[in-house]
Amino acid sequence: MLLLEFRNFLLAGFVNTLLLSLVLTAGATLCAILFAAALSARSRVVTGLVYGLVECLRDIPLMVTVLLAYFVLPKAGISLNPFWSSALSISLWGGANGAHIIRAGLTSVPKGQREAADAFGLRGWRKLVLVVLPQAMPVIIPPYVSLVTSLVQASSLGAVIGVEEVFRAGQVIIEQTTLTRGGSPAYLVYGFLLVFYFVLCWLISLAGRSCEQHFTRHLTGADETSALPRDTTQVVPA
Amino acid sequence: MDFNYILGALPDLMKGLKMTLMVSALSISLSLVLGALGAALRTSGHALLRQLVVGYVEFIRGTPLLVQIFFIFFGLPSLGIRFSVFWSGVIALTLWATAFQIENVRAGLASVQSGIRDASVALGLKRWQHAILVVLPIAARAALPPAMNTVVSTFKNSAYLQTTGLVELTFVAVDRIAYDFRAVEMFATICVIYLFCVFVLAGLAKLVEHRLNRPFAER
């Protein structure tokens, strides 16, 4: 079978997809934290600028952002290979969406909790990490997991600018076999890739669900489902 | 930045924008209709149909739009099903957006509390009266913000179609860059155009939302 014949080639692409996805997740998380922090900064100028940047990143099509980074950055003297160019642009996009998720999570924690932390003498980082974040996590995680699956899906955009990930590998296989053997196996290869991405994203949402359970384990009983916004449909449509 | 160059490119870009708007408008309207139908099947239909709709939504949301587009444009012809660049783009975008609209409408329907059904029965409303006069206005208000989100995303994602060679806004810009190397000018221009369109769409959404909420607004 064709796919087995090219399994090493596909496997190399698969590894690159995973690698790019990991870089994207880390990069987007970092950007999201930075953006979220900047959005709650004291300086009006900083929040204004970052707000504008975040909105632009969210409103410009990701396809355009990816191409823009690839074509425009070299003009500014920054030459990145396709991998890092797409890593940068998609991470910034993910960070802009992630910043909104983090902010929504932090504002969902009732004000009284912060006041209680103050009363206990917890300040700054300790207040955030010990009191606010654990309560914000159940709100943050579901949309964040869907952001991660969006990032994995967005990694396929790298193929457009030449990252050798699994989607690009599929394209190459189709080109080669069409040229050498005649008859395009495109439906087979793309069908396989659809299933591949589906399984990958499904595994990620499974992992996300168990992660979510970790943070909601103290909420026992029936109101667990009603207390949380379970159905976070389409926070980040990629 | 060379503004004269941008002015010279504008006619081409406007042709691209027209194509972008056409594909988006078709996909958006089709996906809204199909989304409402899908949500109706999802909530009331036969158990098997319900499962099919759930499976469809999960599959579309779990796979990259780019691969879906390629499957439809390059994959289906090898099975003997052939569409033009334009129609395969509309189909791919519609299938993608429908999955999200089904979820949006379903969530809207779910926001109608069950007591309201009893109220309709008590008032002697028939089934269709209940559906159209009672459920629809409530569900539409709840479904509107996420549905408009998806509408905006559908418009933005039309840029993906440049990969199949559809001559839309992004394609025109990239095509010109290949000849003239004016990447900064072209990307600045299309970013402004996309941002403008998104703002207009978002503004329209706000207007409709405002209108629908008028009965509940403070007087």
Chain A residue whose CA is closest to B100: A234
Are A34 and A95 contacting, i.e. CB atoms less than 8 angstroms apart? yes
Cα–Cα distance measured from residue B172 to residue A133, given in angstroms and rounded to the nearest whole number: 46
Residue A188 belongs to some domain of the structure: yes
The interface pTM score, or ipTM, of the predicted complex is 0.89
User: Are A186 and B77 within 8 A, CB to CB?
Assistant: yes
Cβ distance A86 to A43 under 8 Å?
no
Inside any domain, residue A234: no
Q: Side chain identity at A195, as an amino acid letter? A: V
CA torsion angle B27 B29 B34 B35 (round to 10)? 100
C-alpha A225/C-alpha B36 separation (Å) is: 26
Please state which of the ranges A13-17, A215-219, B13-17, B42-46 shows the lowest mean pLDDT. A215-219
Residues of A in contact with B63 (CB under 8 A): 153, 194, 197-198, 201
Tell me whether residue A235 is in a domain.
no
pLDDT in tens, chain B (219 residues): 788 888 888 888 999 999 999 999 999 999 999 999 999 888 877 899 999 999 999 999 999 999 999 999 998 988 888 889 999 999 999 999 999 999 999 999 988 888 888 899 899 998 888 888 888 888 888 899 999 999 999 999 999 999 999 999 999 999 998 888 888 889 999 999 999 999 999 999 999 888 888 887 765
Partner-chain residue, chosen from A56, A59, A234, that has the shortest CB–CB distance to B150: A234
Tell the burial category of A51 from Cβ atoms under 10 Å away from its Cβ (0-12, 13-18, 19+). Answer: middle
- Beta-carbon separation of B74 and A238 below 8 A: no
Q: At what angle do helices B183-212 and B136-157 cross, to 10 degrees?
A: 180
For A234, the 3-state DSSP assignment is: coil
Residue A135 Cα distances to A160, A214, B157, angstroms:
40, 12, 34
Q: Is residue A209 part of a domain?
A: yes
Substitution target from A145, A193, A196 for chain B, most B beta carbons within 10 A: A193
* Contact between B194 and A160 using a beta-carbon 8 Å cutoff: no
Question: Is B194:A61 a contact under the CB 8 Å cutoff?
Answer: yes
Which of the residues A56, A192, A233 would you substitute to probe the B interface, choosing the one with the greatest number of B C-beta atoms within 10 Å? A233
| Domain ranges, residue A210 | 2-227
Query: Which of B24, B28, B42, B67 to mutate: most A Cβ within 10 Å?
Result: B67
What integer pLDDT is reported at residue A233 of this predicted model?
46
- B68 CB neighbours in chain A (<8 A) are 194
Helix, strand or coil, per DSSP, at residue B152? helix
Domain count of chain A?
1
Do B100 and B61 touch, CB atoms closer than 8 A?
A: yes
| Amino acid, res. B156 | K
Please tell me the least confidently modeled range out of A36-50, A158-172, A222-236, B48-62.
A222-236
- Establish if A238 belongs to a structural domain: no
Q: Is B66 on the interface with A (CB under 8 A)?
A: yes
Which DSSP letter does residue A28 get? H
Which amino acid does the sequence have at B78? S
Position A190 scores a pLDDT of 92
Q: Which of A23, A94, A21, A32 is nearest to A57 (CA)?
A: A94
CB A235 within 8 A of CB A101: yes
In a domain? residue A236: no
B196 in contact with A, Cβ within 8 Å: no
CATH of the domain at A109: 1.10.3720.10
Q: What distance in Å separates the CA atoms of residue A3 and residue A18, rounded to the nearest whole number?
A: 19
**Structure token pair of residue B88:** 């395969």
DSSP strand E in A19-94: where?
Answer: none
Instruction: Give the start-to-end residue ranges of the domains of chain B.
Output: 3-214
Cβ atoms of residues A104 and A39 within 8 Å: no
By C-alpha distance, the chain A residue nearest B97 is A237
CB contact under 8 A, B199 and A61: no
CATH 1.10.357.10 given to domain B3-214: no
Distance of CA B38 to the CA centre of its chain: 14
- The alpha carbon dihedral of A181, A184, A187, A192 has a sign of positive
